[in-house]
Structure 1
Amino acid sequence: MQFRYTLTVLIGLFIHSFITIPALYVMLTRKNPLNIFKYIMEGGMAALGTSSSGAALPLSINGMEQLGGLDERVTRFVLPLGANINMASSYFYHQNNLRDEIRDGCALYEAVAVIFIAQVNNVQLGFEQIITVSFTATIASLGLNAVPVGLVSIFLILNTVGLPATEVPLLFAVDWMLDRIRTSLNVFGDGFAASVVETALKV
């Protein structure tokens, strides 16, 4: 069951990060999205290793400026902003080891987690409930940046659809891996955002 859950999250993150965002980038800038991955690869790998987009920030800025040629006024505003705004903690896999680096993938991750918990409890969510879960997860990922949101919002979302929270610990076993992947993909997303802003300012 956990394998299917993990696979679903990974597929969702892959589609979001390597199809949806690059497609939007091409539509907005008419540029090759593969270049962004090249520019910010070092920062993304650092985020994967440290599970912290903040720790990877200097490498991200350097890559976008030195390799991508972006204006430092853009990179030094957009990238730090992206590394801090809308931050949402992951589920903690240790009581004193909270992670706080999920933004792009947070809403997707939490929505999938709630659907997974519903399936564990043999509860069939209707279309309206799935919309409610998606909306609540999105709002939580946008608004609660000063608290461990992954922990807080998962209970909030479960409550909105009347599901018990007793199965949340099932997610802890795989969260350490998903957390690092989400963080790394968030860094790539920040790089796309910086390039879009620079393109818009030059128009």
Structure 2
Amino acid sequence: MSDTTDPKPAKTGFRIPVPFWAQVLLGLVVGLALGFVARTYDVAWLATTLDKVGGIFIQLLKLAVAPLVFFAIMVSITNLRKVNNAARLAGRTLLWFMITSLIAVVIGLVIGLVSNPGSGSHLTAADGAKPDHAGSWLDFLTGIIPTDVITPFTELNVLQIVFMAVVAGVAVLKIGAKAQPILTLSESVLELLQKALWWVILLAPIGSAGLIGRAIVQYGWDLLGNYATFTVDIYVGCALVLFGVYPLLLATVAKLNPLQFFKGAWPAIQLAFVSRSSVGTMPVTQQSAIRLGVPKDYASFAVPFGATTKMDGCAAIYPAISAIFVAEIFHLSLGVREYLLIAFVSVIGSAATAGLTGATVMLTLTLSTLGLPMEGVGLLLAIDPILDMMRTATNVAGQALVPVLVSAREKILDQAKYDNASASAIDDLESVYSEPEPQPQPAAPAAA
């Protein structure tokens, strides 16, 4: 009796694998060109199409945000029971969140003080407008606890969703075996959401074309003239943190090759740049951390919390430079006290940023704490989409970095996986959202 196996089906057709980053870059180039045509030649239908395409892409991402945050945080809390020294790891994670945020805000302050971003623009106080609602510390503290369980999901209040998820996760741990059906259901729902989000991610090249094209049509190139120094400051500050501070920490604190980190984290960073959503990118960030050797159970805790509280771009660099920009526009002076307050708000208040597109909540919180005019928010809203891409990429890189640093320091990092980490091509990206299903084993032949 011969032992035979079914041959694998032969692949048919010819396909050139295109890296995901190349597809996204092509989408950005196409979006720039279409936006230029629509604005220059006043092509109304093209402008409307770009607006709808970009809006639908962001709407699809936001559709999954509320349930994704709830179930990801809840499951991550329960996963801590599988991790040795869970309390120590959680404490170290939060500590490094604050350390890297402090470094980022200092860089933002230095850049703002050196470049004077508001002095070279032609903007005045009259160009600003107060937002409908300004964030404050009282709102932040009292807004953590929801008034009911439905409103946070309908109004997309991520901070309240995180609160409910933490409470639910702790309750499941305390109940124990009786809560296992709830935990099993939550894990299944989380996998379902990640799979659905994968389908949205496939649209990222098209969505990026719509988003960048919409920005060009709405604001044009003239907008960059008034915000040139401010825009450069944000990009330079984020680049210094992303490509300077993070590699330095990896090399000195964790004794790791920074190049390998960027190879493993690149799918998450590039998606964050396009989507402008830390929460929407969260499943990719989590799997990137796992590919870099972070234990799965620890990554499932650290990354979801980072996606809602760890914002080096939006909550550190951006508010620091923005505060200096607004103060210069309104001819107000900032002193050492104000700079210390900016650092405090950035390190402690970043949880208010929510991990969604835009950083208006953090900006209003910073301006209100410093006593700066709220009209400054209106000055910055126009340029925000252009800035948010780089800010979010920096956020997500930091959310992947901290679990790697902590794992390396605690001697739980899989060094072999880290050394072999590589960026995924588009054909491999689905593995970020779903692990291969186990193949059924052939039944053993019956005894004669």
TM-score of Structure 1 vs Structure 2, range by shorter chain: 0.7 to 0.9
Match of 2:296 in 1: 72
What secondary structure is seen at the aligned counterpart in 2 of 1:56? Answer: helix
- In structure 2, how many angstroms separate the alpha carbons of the residues matched to 1:202 and 1:150? 35
- In structure 2, how many angstroms separate the alpha carbons of the residues matched to 1:146 and 1:47? 14
Give CA deviations for 1:8-38 in whole Å, capped at 9, x if unaligned.
1111111122212221222221111121111
Give CA deviations for 1:73-116 in whole Å, capped at 9, x if unaligned.
232222222113x26xxxxxxxxxxxxxxx11212211211110
- In structure 2, how many angstroms separate the alpha carbons of the residues matched to 1:51 and 1:156? 20
- What residue ranges of structure 1 are gaps of 5+ in the alignment? 88-102
Match of 1:29 in 2: 254
After TM superposition, the structure 1 = structure 2 runs for residues 113-192 of structure 1, keeping only pairs within 5 Å, are: 113-142=322-351, 144=352, 150-192=359-401
Deviation at 1:186, TM superposition (A): 1.6
Residue identity matched to 1:155? T
Match of 2:231 in 1: 6
Relative to structure 1, the CA distance from residue 159 to residue 80 in structure 2 (aligned partners, 3 Å threshold; closer, same or farther) is closer
Relative to structure 1, the CA distance from residue 153 to residue 192 in structure 2 (aligned partners, 3 Å threshold; closer, same or farther) is closer
Deviation at 1:147, TM superposition (A): 10
Match of 1:83 in 2: 307
Q: Is structure 2 residue 284 aligned with structure 1 residue 62?
A: no
Match of 1:50 in 2: 275
Give CA deviations for 1:43-64 in whole Å, capped at 9, x if unaligned.
1111111112222233333333
Q: Is structure 2 residue 248 aligned with structure 1 residue 39?
A: no
- In structure 2, how many angstroms separate the alpha carbons of the residues matched to 1:60 and 1:136? 25
- In structure 2, how many angstroms separate the alpha carbons of the residues matched to 1:155 and 1:55? 23
- In structure 2, how many angstroms separate the alpha carbons of the residues matched to 1:69 and 1:153? 32
Please say if residues 47 and 53 of structure 1, whose CA atoms lie closer than 8 Å, have aligned partners that are also in contact: yes
Match of 1:98 in 2: none
Please say if residues 48 and 184 of structure 1, whose CA atoms lie closer than 8 Å, have aligned partners that are also in contact: yes
Give CA deviations for 1:127-186 in whole Å, capped at 9, x if unaligned.
3322233323433224x3669994344334334443222232111121112212211122
What secondary structure is seen at the aligned counterpart in 1 of 2:375? Answer: coil
Please say if residues 25 and 196 of structure 1, whose CA atoms lie closer than 8 Å, have aligned partners that are also in contact: yes
Residue identity matched to 2:260? N
**Structure number with bigger Rg:** 2
State percent identity of aligned pairs.
29
Aligned residues: 185
- Return the TM-score normalized by structure 1: 0.78
Match of 2:403 in 1: 194
- In structure 2, how many angstroms separate the alpha carbons of the residues matched to 1:39 and 1:65? 9
Please say if residues 285 and 396 of structure 2, whose CA atoms lie closer than 8 Å, have aligned partners that are also in contact: yes
Residue identity matched to 2:281? A
Please say if residues 36 and 188 of structure 1, whose CA atoms lie closer than 8 Å, have aligned partners that are also in contact: no
Please say if residues 353 and 362 of structure 2, whose CA atoms lie closer than 8 Å, have aligned partners that are also in contact: no
Match of 2:312 in 1: 104
Relative to structure 1, the CA distance from residue 64 to residue 145 in structure 2 (aligned partners, 3 Å threshold; closer, same or farther) is closer
Residue identity matched to 1:104? D
Please say if residues 241 and 394 of structure 2, whose CA atoms lie closer than 8 Å, have aligned partners that are also in contact: no
- In structure 2, how many angstroms separate the alpha carbons of the residues matched to 1:146 and 1:6? 22
Relative to structure 1, the CA distance from residue 160 to residue 189 in structure 2 (aligned partners, 3 Å threshold; closer, same or farther) is closer
